[in-house]
Structure 1
Amino acid sequence: MKAIEFLADSLDRLRDFPADARREAGFQLDNVQNGIEPAGWKPMRTVGSGVREIRLREASGAFRVIYLATLPDAVYVLHCFQKKTQATSKADIDLAAARLRDLLRDRK
């Protein structure tokens, strides 16, 4: 099983999710750690190569967890947020992309 690393404030943001969304996010991230594809995911090529998004829906809205699992040592959670519009906001994409750049730079 891979370790899981939450970058910047991603863990705090995940903890702010409603209980049902938080529980489902944890279950799906556990699947990712164990090499199982999560339900309801899609690639996030706009953030970077290998980046995926877990899509969660519950009574109070839509929630997203953006992560990278292609590195051998850990699953890196780049960003967690509640989705307010149909399209993912540029600010959320830019934030996840910046965290990915920082992660890859720091690994060199």
Structure 2
Amino acid sequence: MAESLKPLVWLEGEIKTPPFTREGRVEAGTLLLRLQRGESLGMPHSRPMPGIGKGCHELRVRDGNHNWRIFYRLDPDCILILDVMPKKTQKTPAPVIAACQRRLADYLAAREGRKRADDP
């Protein structure tokens, strides 16, 4: 029987060639695949980001001498990718959090609009 994977939904344009090294792409891909399979990831790979929104997390990808963050939300039917950024400071920059919040709000509003349009 075929494995059922949750689709990844990129809210800010899909990154076709992330600026990761090969090893970084393998790590990010492996972690995203685990999420798609329904695994719950914790530290050191993922941590909650309630400041962005309910169900939001940051995926922590180590790539050589760099750290990357993939901000995502687990939805029942998909995994929303809100943003990808290099981690350069201890605290996530406020503009990144604001952009993730805006993308999530736009997505939720569009989803609710579709539900209302489909209701009899």
Q: TM-score, normalised by structure 1?
A: 0.88
Post-superposition CA distance 1:24-57 (Å, at most 9, x none): 1111010001001235110001100100111112
Question: Which 5+ residue runs of structure 1 have no aligned equivalent?
Answer: none
Larger Rg: 2
| Kept after mapping to 2: 8 A contact 1:2/1:34 | yes
Q: Secondary structure at the match of 2:23?
A: helix
Identity of aligned residues (%): 31
| Kept after mapping to 2: 8 A contact 1:13/1:80 | no
Structure 1 residues 80 and 23 mapped into 2: Cα distance closer, same or farther (>3 Å)?
A: same
Q: TM-score, normalised by structure 2?
A: 0.80
RMSD: 1.7
Larger RCO of the pair (alpha carbons < 8 Å, separation 6+): 1
Question: Which 5+ residue runs of structure 2 have no aligned equivalent?
Answer: 113-120
- State how many pairs are aligned: 106
